[in-house]
Amino acid sequence: MTEQDLKTEEKILEAAMTVFIQKGKAAARMQEIADTAGINKALLHYYYRSKDKLYESVFSIVIKQLLLPKIFKILQEEEDVFALIHQFADFYVGVINKNPFIPLFVIEEINKNPNRLSNAVLNSGIPIEQVIARFQKAMDEGKIRKTDPRQILVNLISMCIFPVAARNMLLPILFNNSKTEYKKFLELRKTEVAEFIIQSIKI
């Protein structure tokens, strides 16, 4: 049944996501994925023939449906540079926070399969150069001080992603293991990061 089909496939994908993220591809066990999905190994292979194929699917979903399209579109839509930075930080921190597994997943993938993600990004039509150009333009117009615009972009991305990727390190060290405190902290970051950057680059 189509209805049931989707449900099971969804269940599998979510389970696979969880396990692949927690354990990494190599350490992830098909049995555990099946268990997490509430089905058995045979059915798991019935839907996704191999571990590789399953991983491929998960990766594809994470990248194509969660990361690429939504995130960077903002950069095209927003006119003002400062508003753009705000939108970006707000949305990016939000997405990452909702899917805290993404950064690690992506970072791990990057290092084991360097070309795949960068190709995906490069082929996605994401106008990185346009973003860079936008910063450049703002510099030329005297709105922000002059620096390598890539530094700004890297700073922005770093500050959005890292705190989530390093969550398990920050939690005990900075937040006494209080998850609510950490959540509040991340919530504040949505505006904080943008303000931090704007404060730094505005003239």
Partner DNA sequence: GTAATGTTTAACCATTTGGTTAAATTATTT
Partner DNA sequence: AAATAATTTAACCAAATGGTTAAACATTAC
**Least distance from C-beta 112 to a second copy, angstroms?**
7
Partner interacting with residue 52 (select from a second copy, DNA, none; CB below 5-8 Å by kind): DNA
Task: Choose from DNA, a second copy, none: what does 200 bind? Cβ within 5-8 Å by kind.
Answer: a second copy
- Please give the C-alpha separations between residue 47 and each of 4, 7, 11, in angstroms, as whole numbers: 13, 12, 11
Partner whose binding site includes residue 46, from a second copy, DNA, none (CB under 5 to 8 Å by kind) = DNA
For every residue of 87-139, DSSP letters joined together read: HHHHHHHHHHHHSTTHHHHHHHHHHHSHHHHHHHHHHTT--HHHHHHHHHHHH
Amino acid at 78: E
Can residue 112 be called a binding residue for DNA (CB under 7 A)? no
The site string for a second copy over 146-165 (x = CB under 8 A, - otherwise) reads -xx-xx-xxx-xxx-xxx-x
**Contacts with a second copy in 109-128 (CB under 8 A)?**
110-112, 114-115, 117-119, 121-122, 128
State which residue, 52 or 148, has the beta carbon closest to DNA.
Answer: 52
155 token code pair? 């700073």
**Is 8 strand, coil or helix?**
helix
53 vs 60, 114, 152, CA distance in Å? 10, 18, 37
76 binds, among DNA, a second copy, none (CB under 5 to 8 A by kind): none
Residue among 85, 72, 77, 87 at smallest CA distance from 143: 85
Give 71's DSSP letter. Answer: H
Q: Which residues bind a second copy (CB under 8 A)?
A: 22-27, 104, 106-108, 110-112, 114-115, 117-119, 121-122, 128, 145, 147-148, 150-151, 153-155, 157-159, 161-163, 165-166, 168-174, 185, 188-189, 192-193, 196-197, 199-201
Q: Which residues bind DNA (CB under 7 A)?
A: 1-5, 7-8, 28-31, 38-43, 45-46, 49-52
